[in-house]
A and B are shown apart, each in its own frame.
Chain A
């Protein structure tokens, strides 16, 4: 897609993948952080990680297995939370531990069997060995995320503001909540190979957290967060490939640095010493 800008195919694919993964994750990250359920991103990332590991073990497409696992966890979070009478955060903790254990179990077992498991890509991401279809899928989920937020912006904003008030206004809160979880699950599963299960959380939380330092409206957060994530991810991919550095970890460090700077410069914490007269 960006061949007209970057002639080297490998670099071009890496930049495209990082750009699209960062767009979808950071847009959905605004919802995740503002809804105070950052653990959702963490849990989904590890569910996808476990799914991919099972997929590799069973000899089926690891991306499809990752999608299936994260969607399954997304569908289970609500009912299990309601049934067990526990907070969403506690349920997410349970799922996180379980999925992590499943992933590690299969990776360790495959190594024991000498199956030559390439777990590093799942953990830390791999932007070099990508299929074109994976990039198209990432572009697709980015477009879906943008359209979803555009179409349901008013419902999402009410849900973020106060779930009870949103429900009392007549907004169908439950279907919307599951819709959000479903799209997060898809975005996380598709980004797993590029960013890695351990680093996905950075893309889901940090750009939105950085945008929050400057933005006074939710609308602007939906623009600033993907702008930060997209710009830093493209620079990270180019720099990583130019200097043979691991792209996803390098970009994660860069995004975190942006957050630290934005936190220091945030106008929201400044106290005005001006006198009114």
Chain B
């Protein structure tokens, strides 16, 4: 990415620890990510992939180093950052009787942006509807979220994140519940968002459906970055596989 651009994410020698853990999960990580980049974070289980996402949006405590996202300090402005950064979580399981329908869930994506004591307006509702249309789930608007399949729930959560018009979108295993056609469709949609300037960062093990432009790979191992390079979508799987193989053989 062009060096004259200011990074939207700037991590400098970051260490992140979970409460009660003896050692930090993320160790001495430095990373600059620029507007409109499409980044895939790979690596074996426990490498720190989810942790790095939650470090970026300030959900986890940074013990050492400096982190800036959208020009704001992550440790002190975490809540303001989260209003402008979308995050699709990895593990979700909704009670079949949970009293929320898809429309409400997608609208929730805008709640932080709207702020306390203010009601949702027409603009918010329209934006949520547009997000549902993009994900082709507008017909599920009134369905209870708990009654949907894993893939439909996943699409609802992605729609929730894009409803807030994020400047950065973090996705943790967004393809895990999706079939191949839907993966291709969601991937293309994310690619379109990146073309429009939204920074996309995905933790994924599925590389069979990637957008048709250069992708930056950040491979993690034991909390450190073991590979950081940009390649074509066809090369992504091999690069991640080779680095994972090297890690296993090490």
Interface of A with B (CB < 8 Å)?
34, 82, 85, 151-152, 154-155, 157-158, 161-162, 164-172, 212, 215-218, 220-221, 268
Across-interface contacts of A220 in B (CB, < 8 A): 99
Selected contact of B160 from candidates A82, A151, A165, A221, CB within 8 Å: A165
Q: Is the Cβ of B99 less than 8 Å from the Cβ of A154?
A: no
Q: Is the Cβ of A154 less than 8 Å from the Cβ of B120?
A: yes
Q: How many A-B residue pairs lie within 8 Å, measured between CB atoms? A: 79
Secondary structure of the A side of the interface? helix
Shortest Cβ distance from B145 into A: residue? A161
Q: Is the Cβ of A155 less than 8 Å from the Cβ of B100?
A: no
Q: Is the Cβ of A169 less than 8 Å from the Cβ of B89?
A: no
Interface of B with A (CB < 8 Å)?
19-20, 57, 59, 79-84, 87, 89, 92, 97-101, 104-105, 108-109, 111-114, 116-117, 119-120, 144, 157, 160, 164
Q: How far is the CA of A268 from the CA of B98 in the complex (A)?
A: 11
Q: Is the Cβ of B82 less than 8 Å from the Cβ of A168?
A: yes
Selected contact of B83 from candidates A85, A154, A166, A170, CB within 8 Å: A170
Selected contact of B92 from candidates A34, A155, A162, CB within 8 Å: A162
Q: How far is the CA of A157 from the CA of B97 in the complex (A)?
A: 15
Given A168-B87, A171-B112, A268:B97 Cβ within 8 A:
yes
> Known pairs A166-B108, A169-B112. 12 more at Cβ < 8 A?
A152-B116, A154-B111, A154-B114, A157-B104, A158-B111, A161-B98, A162-B92, A170-B82, A170-B84, A170-B113, A212-B97, A218-B99
Q: Is the Cβ of A155 less than 8 Å from the Cβ of B111?
A: yes
Shortest Cβ distance from A268 into B: residue? B97
Given A85-B20, A151-B117, A165-B160, A171:B111 Cβ within 8 A:
yes
Shortest Cβ distance from B92 into A: residue? A162
User: How close is B131's CB to chain A, nearest CB, in angstroms?
Assistant: 13
User: How close is A95's CB to chain B, nearest CB, in angstroms?
Assistant: 21
Q: Is the Cβ of A154 less than 8 Å from the Cβ of B108?
A: yes
User: How close is B83's CB to chain A, nearest CB, in angstroms?
Assistant: 3
User: How close is B75's CB to chain A, nearest CB, in angstroms?
Assistant: 15
Selected contact of B89 from candidates A34, A154, A164, A172, CB within 8 Å: A164
Q: How far is the CA of A167 from the CA of B108 in the complex (A)?
A: 11
Selected contact of A217 from candidates B83, B89, B100, B111, CB within 8 Å: B100
Sampled A-B contacts (11; CB under 8 Å): A152-B116, A154-B114, A154-B120, A157-B108, A165-B160, A167-B82, A169-B109, A172-B79, A172-B116, A217-B99, A218-B104
